[in-house]
Amino acid sequence: MLVISFIAAIFTGNMNELSAAAMNSCVEAVELFLYLIGGMCMWGGVMRIAEKAGITRVISKAFRPLARLLFPGLDLEGKAFGLICMNVAANIMGLGNAATPIGIQAITEIEKEEEADAKIKKLHRDPTVASRNMIVFIVLNTASITLIPQTAAALRLKHGALMPFDIFPCVVITSVCALVFGVTAAFLLNGQTTLSKKINTKRIPQNELH
């Protein structure tokens, strides 16, 4: 895109406009970063206070019935589940960027918990393959329901929107649809994969399995 823009500017005689746009874009990128960082710091602080005050535990209890269905076999009192709840809470408040570090920690803890469980049950677990719990969590993190679109509202306010939060209904509808479709696909495709593996295993002679 940069090369095409440069060539087009040469042939159309718009090199001055291209140079001005490049410089202005650099300045606007820094301004946008400074504009958004304040809101992210504020909501990040709110999340930290919520964690210390025990609010995340309340969210965990409310999320527990659904978690039993979404994350079968996961310890609902463990560290992984607590991080999942914090990630969901951050996404609900529209803090997609702030939720990313929590999501990475949650994936790490899910892997540790499943490895420990596999050792106890003496089962082989391929560390290069994501488990269903990992896949469902990634879908949940990516298409999470957003009730407070903070980042989008901040961008709209910066560009002159009089009612930056009037996108709330559209955000909720699209995030709910994306979440339902993503989780359903994850369960269906995982079920088909598991079924095919069982069928293939039955066709292999017993001596070859060893």
Q: What are the residues whose beta carbons fall under 8 Å from the beta carbon of 112, sequence distance 6 or more?
A: 80
Please, how many CA atoms are within 13 Å of residue 134, restricted to the half-sphere of its CB? 16
More confident residue, 122 or 84: 84
Q: What are the residues whose beta carbons fall under 8 Å from the beta carbon of 111, sequence distance 6 or more?
A: 127, 131, 134
pLDDT(82) > 50: yes
Q: Which residues of 90-124 are buried (b: 16+ CB within 10 A; e: fewer)?
A: bbbbbbbebbeebbebbbebbbebbeeeeeeeeee
Over residues 80-105, the mean pLDDT reads 76
Residue 42 · residue 49 · CB < 8 Å = no
* Lookup: tokens for 148: 């407070």
- Res 89: pLDDT: 75
Average pLDDT in the chain: 76
More confident residue, 192 or 183: 183
Indicate the pLDDT class of residue 96, thresholds 50, 70 and 90: low
Residue 58 · residue 68 · CB < 8 Å = no
H or E element in which residue 177 lies: helix 168-203
Lowest-confidence segment of 79-88, 118-127, 157-166, 192-201 by average pLDDT: 192-201
- Res 105: pLDDT: 86
Lowest-confidence segment of 63-67, 102-106, 132-136 by average pLDDT: 63-67
Distance of CA 104 to the CA centre of its chain: 9
pLDDT(169) > 60: yes
